[in-house]
Amino acid sequence: MNVLLKNKSEIKKIKIASKIASEVLEMIKSYVIPNITTLELNDICHDFIIKKKAIPGCLGYQGFPKSVCISVNDIVCHGIPNKNKKLKNGDIVNIDVTVVKNKYYSDTSKMFFVGKPSILSKRLCYVAKKSLYLAIKVIKPEIKLYKIGETIQKYVEKKGFSVVRDYCGHGIGRYFHEEPQILHYKSNKNNLIIKKNMVFTIEPMINAGSKSVKCMKDGWTVKTKDRSLSAQYEHTVLITKNGCEILTKREKENIKNN
Ligand code: MF3
Ligand code: CO
Ligand code: CO
């Protein structure tokens, strides 16, 4: 039995976790406004997940201290919610939600605008989102894994932005991070063939400036080295007979018009 493939009952559980994770991102939208702190946003997400009788997967994961990751502006990923970090007009914010339900994981994130975004912020977030959608469109059984990264990198670089190399997507299921690694750039090391019933995340991190990143002294917060803006979108997908199903798709999310 191939460990990368999920059976029916596992897929069912990942779907249940995915629905809750996507609902968190829908629910939190109206709270992402000027003057709210990232800790307050964390606590609202936490309470929502607990109310669904689920567990926030980030809390305590390798010692991560909060329930979701919140990454503002030049923070690329793994931002730690903080009572002193108030959002302000023009900020771009990624909220990354991992939910565990019946022992199975799901993982999704999206960008939010606080008040009115700059033209650059809007473009960057649009390109990050579209790069994820383009990758989702090419996925199907029997193609090689590097097609995902190739698709993302080609599009993003054509738009003048860069793809972060240091973090990747991942298989997901009984554990938060499983095989295979999903690179968001082309690499000939990524020759694995995609098969029906794989479940993995795609989560491109896209920088307005250079692709280089730097981890802060807190051991978690990752920033762009040049302090340029960064944007990320993440979905958990199930490989199907002819393509893939976005398990963390939000009800109002419109993929076709992008
Ligand atoms: N959610 C992140 C991912 O997409 C991982 C966060 S790990 C944490 O893989 F510990 F920072 F929460
Ligand atoms: Co992930
Ligand atoms: Co995530």
Residues in contact with 144: Cβ distance below 8 Å, sequence separation at least 6, in sequence order: 190, 191, 192, 193, 194
Mutate to test the pocket of ligand 1, among 49, 61, 67, 200 (most ligand atoms within 8 A of CB): 61
E strand spans, 149-198: 162-163, 169-171, 178-182
Q: For residues 241 and 202, what is the distance between their CA atoms, to the nearest angstrom? A: 19
Residue 119, both tokens: 């033209």
Residue of 97, 98, 99, 70 lying closest to 84 (CA atoms): 70
- The reported pTM is 0.98
Is 103 within 8 Å of 16 (Cβ atoms)? no
Among protein residues, the one with the nearest Cα to ligand 1's atom 1 is: 96
Among protein residues, the one with the nearest Cα to ligand 1's atom 12 is: 58
Domain extent for 235 = 8-246
Asked whether residue 256 is domain-assigned, the answer is no
Q: How many structural domains comprise the chain? A: 1
Is 165 within 8 Å of 185 (Cβ atoms)? yes
Asked whether residue 155 is domain-assigned, the answer is yes
Mutate to test the pocket of ligand 1, among 22, 25, 76, 96 (most ligand atoms within 8 A of CB): 96
pLDDT of amino acid 258 = 76
Asked whether residue 50 is domain-assigned, the answer is yes
Q: Which residues are placed with Cβ below 5 angstroms of ligand 3, an ion?
A: 96, 107, 234
Residue of 173, 178, 180, 177 lying closest to 145 (CA atoms): 180
pLDDT digits (tens, 9 = 90+) for 38-61: 999 999 999 999 999 999 999 999
Asked whether residue 3 is domain-assigned, the answer is no
Is 223 within 8 Å of 216 (Cβ atoms)? yes
Asked whether residue 181 is domain-assigned, the answer is yes
Count Cβ atoms below 10 Å from residue 53 Cβ, excluding itself: 9
Among protein residues, the one with the nearest Cα to ligand 1's atom 2 is: 96
Among protein residues, the one with the nearest Cα to ligand 1's atom 7 is: 58
pLDDT in tens, the chain (258 residues): 677 999 999 999 999 999 999 999 999 999 999 999 999 999 999 999 999 999 999 999 999 999 999 999 999 999 999 999 999 999 999 999 999 999 999 999 999 999 999 999 999 999 999 999 999 999 999 999 999 999 999 999 999 999 999 999 999 999 999 999 999 999 988 889 999 999 999 999 999 999 999 999 999 999 999 999 999 999 999 999 999 999 999 999 999 877
Asked whether residue 251 is domain-assigned, the answer is no
φ, ψ dihedrals at 250, nearest 5°: -85, 155
CATH number at residue 144: 3.90.230.10
